[in-house]
């Protein structure tokens, strides 16, 4: 591989992987490098969903995180770039079979060859490098080679039932090389600064544009929340990027089209942003993304925050108060579809606060947060409706 990436430091860690800040050695461009260990089929399925979605979006929208390249790790320091449109068959096999393909054979082979179990990623933060396998990789000690004792004698061809002496390359991890966002996530960026109405409206408009683009490609995100929105700081203001497509699903056409509308059944997402139909375990469509956007927009425009049990950092999100307890909007609406939401909010909040949204924006937020998903505005109409509502309230 021609490119060389240098890992500098860890910048994020989640349930499924670790994100590092790094650089392209040739250009000095800063990138984010996400390490995804292929340790079990459930993880691998999420990785493949994320990879497919990011490849579909490529670098075609300014408000969606860009994927530069994907690397497959097959040894302690052996990585191979994946060609566009290609995925390792052994990863797909692992998902279909419900177990990591070839794991037992590889462990057995490793014990004999190395006297130890399967190697770890072998690439940590600091000054280590990620480098693809080159043509000179024949000297790599991690790759076994056969040296014939007598070149005159022909080695008999193995019978069909014989097992190959060298197992096929295993898939230890995927490395996704993405654009780097220096502003952190949306929670951190907005809550570390005084309220700014212009900035908030810009964030809302950009998120509308991003989700409209994703839905036009047939991608339903299914986990929209401020933690999954990254920010690039520019002279013209913040540029937000929708990221983390591990729970996303893809359909063959635009997800809001009547003939291609895809229904999903698995309950997934984050509690405070999940739609009522997802909370209730019903089948749902891409309109669940619109509800999640509504929760985010309300929180961003009014600076509504909450602190989850065990968490140390405030998060942007709207909710319903039940005495001393906070209830996610989706859960409250699932329990009572006729619940009347109060927009602007009447919750007690800590100043300084932005001015409350006007009548037009409040009405649009109520439409996005409707308990009936079919009455929520589709993504391809949302951007125009948000712009019109913001302009009407500004008069």
Rounded (10°) angle between helices 359-368 and 379-394: 160
> Quick one: three-class SS letters along 365-385?
HHHHCCCCHHHCCCHHHHHHH
Q: What DSSP element (H or E) covers 94? A: helix 89-97
The span from the CA of 95 to the CA of 394, in Å, is 51
Distances, alpha carbon 315 to alpha carbons 115, 141, 148, 172, 300, in Å: 48, 48, 64, 34, 10
**Active-site pick, 110, 140, 196, 223:** 223
Other Cβ atoms less than 10 A from the Cβ of 76: the count is: 16
Residue with tokens 């009522």: 276
Give the three-class secondary structure for 358. coil
Quote the distance between the C-alpha of residue 161 and its chain's center: 43
Other Cβ atoms less than 10 A from the Cβ of 267: the count is: 13
Quote the distance between the C-alpha of residue 352 and its chain's center: 32
Output phi, psi for 305, to 5 deg: -130, 160
223 is a catalytic site residue: yes
Give the three-class secondary structure for 152. coil
- Say if residues 253 and 216 touch (Cβ distance below 8 Å): no
Other Cβ atoms less than 10 A from the Cβ of 335: the count is: 13
Strand partners, 299: none
Give the three-class secondary structure for 43. helix
Task: Give 116's contacts (C-beta < 8 A, 6+ positions apart).
Answer: 110
- Say if residues 188 and 226 touch (Cβ distance below 8 Å): no
Residues acting as catalytic residues: 223
């Amino acid at each position: 591989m021609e490119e060389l990436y240098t890992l500098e430091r860890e910048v994020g860690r989640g349930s499924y992987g670790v994100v590092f800040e790094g650089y392209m050695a040739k250009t000095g461009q800063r990138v984010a490098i996400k390490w995804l260990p292929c340790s079990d089929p459930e993880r691998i399925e999420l990785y493949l969903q994320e990879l497919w979605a990011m490849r579909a979006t490529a670098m075609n929208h300014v408000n969606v995180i860009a994927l530069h390249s994907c690397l497959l790790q097959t040894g302690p320091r052996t990585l191979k770039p994946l060609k566009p449109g290609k995925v390792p068959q052994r990863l797909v096999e692992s998902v279909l079979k419900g177990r990591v393909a070839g794991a037992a054979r590889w462990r057995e082979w490793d014990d004999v060859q190395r006297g130890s179990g399967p190697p770890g990623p072998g690439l940590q933060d600091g000054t280590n490098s990620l480098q693809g396998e080159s043509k000179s990789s024949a000297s790599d000690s991690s790759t076994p080679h056969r040296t014939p004792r007598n070149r005159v004698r022909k080695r008999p061809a193995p019978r069909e039932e014989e097992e190959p002496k060298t197992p096929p390359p295993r898939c230890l991890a995927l490395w996704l090389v993405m654009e780097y966002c220096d502003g952190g996530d949306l929670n951190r960026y907005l809550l570390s600064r005084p309220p700014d109405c212009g900035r908030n409206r810009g964030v809302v408009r950009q998120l509308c544009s991003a989700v409209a683009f994703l839905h036009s490609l047939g991608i339903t995100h299914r986990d929209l929340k401020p933690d999954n929105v990254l920010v690039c700081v520019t002279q013209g203001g913040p540029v937000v990027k929708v990221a983390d497509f591990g729970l996303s699903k893809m359909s063959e056409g635009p997800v809001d089209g009547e003939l291609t509308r895809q229904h999903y059944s698995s309950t997934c997402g984050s509690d405070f942003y999940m739609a009522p139909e997802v909370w209730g375990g019903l089948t749902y469509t891409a309109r669940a993304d619109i509800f999640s956007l509504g929760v985010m927009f309300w929180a961003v425009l009014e600076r509504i925050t909450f602190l989850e049990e065990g968490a140390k950092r405030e998060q942007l999100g709207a909710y319903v108060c039940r005495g001393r307890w906070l209830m996610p909007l989706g859960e409250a609406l699932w329990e009572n579809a006729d619940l009347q939401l109060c927009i602007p909010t009447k919750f007690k909040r800590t100043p300084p606060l932005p001015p409350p949204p006007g009548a037009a924006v409040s009405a649009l937020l109520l439409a996005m947060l409707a308990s009936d998903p079919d009455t929520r505005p589709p993504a391809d109409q949302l951007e125009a409706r948000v712009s019109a509502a913001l302009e009407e309230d500004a008069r």
